[in-house]
Structure 1
């Protein structure tokens, strides 16, 4: 009996720490429970995935400039040809596997700017190939949301329908897919995959500890393109005012990101608030982010997985929310009242909420301890049941190894 062949798929290794954290959680579970599995990836950043996780990886798109705007005739032709070539590349990759897992990520949503012929098309090719070739495609702990753009909505809906298995990171994701015409009667909901990651120990900081402020290159969502710059300017100006007030109060501030594209926002804040009290953390994983949040007195953050890192380390957090997924996450962890809209960020109101958060710090830390224990138990049960069903054990010795 040969070893089971598992493929993982997504915008992995592309600079988004949350996406890579979801992959890390799934690989950790496979290594512990199915060490016989042979794993490789079809992903956005194959070199980064192989270097960090030690598994072979293939580039997601044949055309290397897929996510760059095509302004020249050659680029337009290259993108068009790439769509055709990727049909056969994706099918050939899927055929080599016993199961393909899409680990977490918001693959069924469009809460950030998204073109239908980019990742939604790639996901559709994956799920269609799986159905045609008899390879189960499992969408595990994914995020979903209502989509107004018709081509994107159609591709997402058909991807979900063609997948052999679906589970979601919150109830509203399942509800969104049901509203788009997907039968979700057998679909499960469980905590985000990042809750399966170990929580790193962090030495306590000298009191008072820093305030971590997670930032983002936020320009609104897919439906906000016409006012993207206005939304970004309001968000950035409000964040700068908030950080400046913390510094005037003598507080240390650590700026956090969750994606490489957030670097200009950090630079803008450092330039506007010229103070040694404001520093930028260098993070390359969710473990790095958790070390930062664990050492903080409190956290104010916008990116979804920045919020998870704070919640998982038991640090009181105020969410600057741009999508319903963040509101649902905060409510599920007992901090539903500490949400602030990113599109209408008001520095004065944000400060009021922040000060109330810090007053209730001890109480909220106890709440988070209890909620984290429950989330970890629920997610462990789900992953064990899922992989036991999809990946029957073989009699081979462990074959899960690093790529040579």
Structure 2
């Protein structure tokens, strides 16, 4: 960094809370940093510092004062602590980011509004981080991030303000870059690269199996809609759960072996719903045809998917991981980003919106996918080779422009 000492790098994001997709982006970034910059001092500023330190052995700090200190004993004291935390963060964050030369936001949908979102939660924290880091003279990098057009004026202002302060920006698809352009950000110099998780290595090959049944990985998601659907969130979830349970019954009745997979701890409610239904309606089949082994990382999830013949999933990184492994996949898409993944792999016909999910159509798509699997997989492997090469190019750019280029200039200085 031009200072005669190792670079100090912070990785910033909603990490340590159990979301496997976010951790996959972290895993890919850590692999790059440790291979190309082994002397770098790496730490994390994240939403679950204790869990992240336990898993990765990396020094970690909470993003906000409230995350660090927790709620009060009553509802009133919790509200007071939240309000105090917003004020405290105005002073805490600038002091925190003085420690670093570079702050990296690795992948993730950090500029999205596809799920329920409070503007004074993540959007505010992201904006305050960018302001604090640039004031301290640190470079900020948004690397292969996802974005969508924010309808709420406050969220739009916070997201575009944070992005303008970044030293380096890249997006994981054209839609994300176009979304930021629509919101008023100049993206003419910003590149599009694949999702960081496409840089993860292949998992260990599964043990040879004597099973005669074909295995379907069924990715589940606790879906309640977006912020605009708060009044109907319970109804939206109930409709999705009923349909996914119906499809699971069909798979069991047709003789398939099901592996239930998720991407976030919240998804366990759907797992339980499927298992409870099958135990009640198919008691003689459920134990022999349904497998549930929770994964602690995206790498473990990929290892489970490696043993599947076909994948049907909703969460973005369930779909992405299946495509990364060249598995014939159907996306029950909760956002356009899922559709873009499928289009990139030339699987656009094998997708449905989670909002209008039709089980009969899903069964038709499943049968068509299974019949064409042998022709689909070679094209998927070719695309994965292309994605890996593109990400290697981006890592070289990051080294050149962020880590090897020397210190940044503090905000307000020439």
Distance 1:347 1:280 in 2: 22
- Kindly tell me: are residues 197 and 67 of structure 1, through their superposed partners in 2, closer, same or farther at Cα, counting changes over 3 Å? farther
- The aligned counterpart of 1:334 is 346
Distance 2:189 2:224 in 1: 36
Match of 1:73 among 65, 72, 76: 76
Checking the alignment, whether the CA contact within 8 Å between 1:44 and 1:59 is kept in structure 2 is yes
1:135-154 equivalences in 2 (<5 Å): 135-154=138-157
1:29 paired to 2:41: no
- Kindly tell me: are residues 70 and 376 of structure 1, through their superposed partners in 2, closer, same or farther at Cα, counting changes over 3 Å? farther
- The aligned counterpart of 2:239 is 234
Match of 2:126 among 123, 131, 142: 123
Match of 1:344 among 340, 356, 372: 356
Distance 1:71 1:219 in 2: 28
1:209 Cα deviation from its structure 2 partner: 2.8
Question: Where does structure 2 lack aligned partners over 5 or more consecutive residues?
Answer: 280-285, 407-414
Distance 1:69 1:224 in 2: 29
Question: Where does structure 1 lack aligned partners over 5 or more consecutive residues?
Answer: 395-404
1:134 Cα deviation from its structure 2 partner: 2.1
- The aligned counterpart of 1:284 is 296
Match of 2:270 among 255, 265, 268: 265
Match of 1:370 among 382, 387, 391: 382
1:359 paired to 2:371: yes
Distance 2:342 2:233 in 1: 26
**3-state SS in 1 of match to 2:144:** strand
Match of 1:7 among 2, 5, 10: 10
Q: Deviations over 1:213-261 (max 9, x none)?
A: 0001111112221211121111111100000001011111111000111
- The aligned counterpart of 2:256 is 251
Match of 2:328 among 303, 316, 319: 316
**3-state SS in 1 of match to 2:312:** strand
Q: Deviations over 1:261-289 (max 9, x none)?
A: 11111001100112221221220111111
1:339 Cα deviation from its structure 2 partner: 0.8
1:225 paired to 2:230: yes
**3-state SS in 1 of match to 2:12:** strand
TM-score under structure 1 normalisation?
Answer: 0.94
- Kindly tell me: are residues 388 and 344 of structure 1, through their superposed partners in 2, closer, same or farther at Cα, counting changes over 3 Å? same
Q: Deviations over 1:35-74 (max 9, x none)?
A: 1110111101111211222210001121139998998221
1:369 Cα deviation from its structure 2 partner: 0.7
- Give the total of aligned pairs: 394
- Kindly tell me: are residues 299 and 281 of structure 1, through their superposed partners in 2, closer, same or farther at Cα, counting changes over 3 Å? same
- The aligned counterpart of 1:159 is 162
Distance 2:68 2:168 in 1: 31
Checking the alignment, whether the CA contact within 8 Å between 1:145 and 1:177 is kept in structure 2 is yes
Checking the alignment, whether the CA contact within 8 Å between 2:71 and 2:78 is kept in structure 1 is no
1:385-400 equivalences in 2 (<5 Å): 385-392=397-404
1:336 Cα deviation from its structure 2 partner: 1.4
Q: Which moved more, 1:65-74 or 1:97-106?
A: 65-74
Distance 1:194 1:175 in 2: 21
Checking the alignment, whether the CA contact within 8 Å between 1:70 and 1:76 is kept in structure 2 is no
- Over the aligned positions, Cα root-mean-square deviation in angstroms equals 1.8
- Kindly tell me: are residues 70 and 169 of structure 1, through their superposed partners in 2, closer, same or farther at Cα, counting changes over 3 Å? farther
Instruction: State the 4+ residue runs in structure 1 displaced beyond 3 angstroms.
Output: 64-71
Checking the alignment, whether the CA contact within 8 Å between 1:235 and 1:344 is kept in structure 2 is no
